[in-house]
Amino acid sequence: MKVAIQGERGSYSHQAALELIPKAEILACSRAVEVFDAVESGAVGCAVLPVENTLAGSVGEHLDLLMERNVFVQQEHRLRIGHNLIAAPGVKIKDLKRVLSHPVALDQCRKFFQKHPGIEAAVFYDTAGGVKHVMAGKLTDTAAIAGKQAADEYGGRVLQAGLEDMKENFTRFFRFVREKRVLSSADKTSIVFSLTNVPGALFKALSVFSLRDLDLSKIESRPVRGKPWEYMFYADILSAEEKVLDRALRHLAEVADFVKVIGAYPRAR
């Protein structure tokens, strides 16, 4: 199956995609919108994107696109993230003036930059892309933060492993497709909804789940672009039981302005 990811080969998304679909043919995209375009056009069978990290939080752009686009989440996957400082062979840490990586990865390695104040944390579009750039340019004063697989992919050398601030560093990935199809083992549902800003609106919305003993494992708000101080609410429900959820969502639609089911899938263990 052809699978779209955001980032280069050797990235964490590449690793997650191969763990979910071991024989996947990877289509590497530079931007998230290109990933969604590939799925909606049928150019790929599915896509794999990160949506949340235990240290850096949610990936807002990807949540917004899941709300906006016509796709359906079919699986989730948790990947242990181990960051590595990767440079060209022969380069040492004392030679470095800057380190490239995706902003989320840089945010997970704050202690490294506190320990090395002379090294600039430079934002790059992708973790593995940073390694690719360093190696292609034969840079001797620049390294990248990425997974070990990126070093293997592009011939870099790991100068230091375990750069992440905490070892309990996991990223949650979604696998999504164009057509809605719920796997038989699904036991988790993700939705997004909006409310009119009146007293008690959120309480009424959440009560539709409480009344039916549905467990919400997560709820968070995201700003509505173009509408200052208005918000969408994203929620994960630990159930995919169709009849109970249908009743809850119909009830939610009575108090909400907008409701969309993003996906139903087996929860990652």
pLDDT in tens, 213-252: 999 999 999 998 888 888 999 999 998 788 899 999 999 9
For 44, residues 6+ apart whose C-beta sits below 8 A from its C-beta are 1, 2, 3, 4, 27, 38
pLDDT at 137: 96
DSSP characters over the chain = -EEEEES-TTSHHHHHHHHHSTTPEEEEESSHHHHHHHHHHTSSSEEEEEEEETTTEE-HHHHHHHHHSS-EEEEEEEEE---EEEE-TT--GGG-SEEEE-HHHHHTTHHHHHH-TTSEEEE-S-HHHHHHHHHHTT-SSEEEEE-HHHHHHHT-EEEEE--SS-S--EEEEEEEESS----TT--EEEEEEE--S-TTHHHHHHHHHHTTT--EEEEEEEEPTTSTT-EEEEEEES---HHHHHHHHHHHHHH-SEEEEEEEEPPP-
Residue positions annotated with a catalytic role? 171, 173
The single residue listed with the structure tokens 């062979």 is 89
Residue 164: C-alpha distances to residues 101, 106, 152, 193 (Å)? 13, 9, 19, 34
pLDDT at 138: 95
Please choose, from the candidates 3, 79, 87, the residue with its C-alpha nearest in 3D space to the C-alpha of residue 44.
3
> Is the C-alpha dihedral spanning 214, 216, 220, 222 positive or negative?
negative
pLDDT at 177: 98
* Ordered domains of the chain (ranges, CATH): 2-80+170-177 (3.40.190.10), 84-161 (3.40.190.10), 188-265 (3.30.70.260)
pLDDT at 56: 83
Could you say which residues of the chain have pLDDT below 70?
Answer: none
pLDDT at 147: 95
pLDDT at 215: 95
